[in-house]
Structure 1
Amino acid sequence: MKIFDTQLKALTEKLTQYDEDIEDAARILAQSIVSDGRIYWYGENEMKGIVTQACLGEDRIADSFLADESTSFSAMDTLVVMSQDLSENMIETLTNKAVQGQSTVIGIHSNIEDSSVVDLDFSFTTGVKNGLVPMESGNRIGSPHLLIGLHLYYKLYFAVMEMLEEHTELD
């Protein structure tokens, strides 16, 4: 657990490289909310946990909905897709539909190479490539894709909440 904690801390510290982009992406999310747009979320595999948090959790973001193949997008909407591998068919389908609808697309994924697979306005990689803890057999276990993805979610969440609070104060 000590190795996992140390490696996890290093991964979360690397996320500070995204601070400016997080601020910009959060601004887009806040604009979707105040302009009566919607925020659509789609996750593959364990990254569905972020969708649950965003749409149903205690710390959910307003106007958040699960995206599926029947979702239609407008220029006021934002799509957030999350996966270890963005080349999943459904992610590609949703991203193409969002781009056609002139929506902003945000991706949270594991590999930097994935960002060229689909058209993303903002791309955040978790930095998780394999397990963090080496075993005597040579295998590595403990791949915290969801945990780092949720950390990125909370960076977005706190920035959005701050912006919405400022917007409310200005009204």
Structure 2
Amino acid sequence: MQQGTGNTATTGDEWSSRVAVTVNGTPRDLTLDNRTTLLDALREHLGLVGAKKGCDHGQCGSCTVLLDGRRVKSCLLFAVTLDGCAVTTVEGLAGPDGLTPLQEAFIAHDAFQCGYCTPGQICSARGVLDELAENWPSAVTGDLTGAVEPSDAEIRERMSGNLCRCAAYPHIVAAVREAVQAR
């Protein structure tokens, strides 16, 4: 992931900058206070409220989105540093044919209860699927030279940055496992 291209233009107001990002496939040009986080830009300036503000410290994962295809906690990133980047939120995951197999697996396995963390969980799971497809090892990967086996321990480790206050973890692991197997 490469943050920004250095092309962010100032607006004449020393506290604001222009930033061009692609959000869910749509180019967006924004003028933002330099202190605006990606999460606040998505929610307050673009009306995309899927990513949630849970802890606002990068600890809970409810604000997880994909930045240039990699999982990030959007509450920790200043939006003006992301000029030229592509952001995918939970709203941008489903295609024209409806929900993705991952989203369908979350429904089938009841991988949510209150639903507050679900958008971040689903974006993180999307990142997990991509990491597994690229054979990225994790802290629990046994063989670092072969294909990564998507065991429950592997899935739990990779999803560990996303908390669920309702403790739906077994259901989340089952949903991710099903989506891995469906690939």
Larger helix proportion of the pair? 1
TM-score tier (shorter): under 0.3
TM-score normalised per structure 1: 0.28
TM-score normalised per structure 2: 0.27
